[in-house]
Amino acid sequence: MENIKIVTTAMHVPEHVVTNDDLAEIMDTSDEWIYPRTGIHQRHVVTTENTSDLATSVAKNLLAQAGWDAADLDFIIVGTMSPDALSPHTAAIVQGNIEAPNAFAFDLNAACSGFVYGMSVASSFLSSGRYQKGMFIGAEVLSKLVDWKDRTVSVLFGDGAGGVLLEKTDEPVGLIAEELQSFGDRGEAILTGRFANKNAFTGEISPLDPYFHQDGRSVYGFATREVPKVMKKALEKAGLEAGDVDFYLAHQANKRIVESMAKNFGQSMDKFPTNMEEYGNTSAGSTAILLDELRQSGQIKPGMKIAFVGFGGGLAIGVQIWQV
């Protein structure tokens, strides 16, 4: 076990809520069509904020809960596929906003696996012995990547952020095992944010296309077939059976996918909590938001074993098993 403590958690979502009924006012859809297929009733959407604003709110909340000074931080990592800009990167904006002079900062983009990949990088830094305290935040404003005329995609996504403070410790807690896998040969199943490619010496090589495009059937098949295989490898590395894990916090993409995971492992849905009903798919933010809700409600208790399960764009899958 890598002895790393999840010191505290926090989340922030925009105040503005868009229900399925609201979407029915601007496109041909309904709650009766969306909810049975996705498990989503509503999502939160920004009206004035950008990704760095959501992440900064989480960062300030994390520090306040832990009683840490921003100067205590060695690093800040933000997982996002929807940054304010390519430069400055979102983590650097957060570092400036909270005045963390000793922290280096960078973004990580692993799309919907971003929470697990970010936690992997952060835990590696701490396990190296070179750093003692770090912050990881998954933050997304996916509403700027959605074509709100496309009902096959726009009904899925929401905006939000969640994060953790991590600390090297001697306590018997931390990362037990992980398994990360990429499937780049299937990457075109989820395409987002393509830049226009042209220059002074040639014509247009490829056009600007900022919006989500998704082969829903392929992604569903990938998630239900490949994710359980990676989960089993993580459990084998940890020397655990499926029933030894107290909670599986899966990326909140689609309730039917999460139900399929629980069935595959012979576990009740009580061990696979969901909150996409309220938030939709918030990509790198989804697992962190769910983690904070469970911690705040007292459902996560010291000594529990928690599995974080990310999957999506790349295509990529990541699974970590922690003792908290």
pLDDT digits (tens), the chain, 324 positions = 999 999 999 999 999 999 999 999 999 999 999 999 999 999 999 999 999 999 999 999 999 999 999 999 999 999 999 999 999 999 999 999 999 999 999 999 999 999 999 999 999 999 999 999 999 999 999 999 999 988 888 999 999 999 999 999 999 999 999 999 999 999 999 988 889 999 999 889 999 999 988 888 899 999 999 999 999 999 999 999 999 999 999 999 999 999 999 999 999 999 999 999 999 999 999 999 999 999 999 999 999 999 999 999 999 999 999 999
> Can you give the pLDDT at residue 192?
87
> Can you give the pLDDT at residue 212?
87
> Can you give the pLDDT at residue 214?
87
Write down the residue that tokens 């005329």 correspond to: 149
Q: Which of 112, 197, 199, 213 is catalytic?
A: 112
> Can you give the pLDDT at residue 240?
97
Q: Which of 20, 251, 254, 264 is catalytic?
A: 251
The answer to whether residues 178 and 318 touch, using CB atoms and an 8 Å cutoff, is: yes
| Torsional sign, CA 320, 94, 191, 41 | positive
Task: Return the closest-CA partner of residue 231 out of 279, 178, 187.
Answer: 178
Is 16 an annotated catalytic residue? no
> Can you give the pLDDT at residue 222?
94
| Alpha carbons 3 and 280: distance in angstroms, whole number | 33
> Can you give the pLDDT at residue 250?
97
> Can you give the pLDDT at residue 118?
98
Which domains, and CATH codes, for the chain? 4-171 (3.40.47.10), 175-323 (3.40.47.10)
Is 3 an annotated catalytic residue? no
pTM: 0.95
The answer to whether residues 193 and 227 touch, using CB atoms and an 8 Å cutoff, is: no
Write down the residue that tokens 């459990």 correspond to: 235
Buried b (16+ CB within 10 A) or exposed e, 293-307: bbbeeeebeeeebbb
Is 112 an annotated catalytic residue? yes
The answer to whether residues 29 and 192 touch, using CB atoms and an 8 Å cutoff, is: no
Chain centroid to CA 78: how far?
10
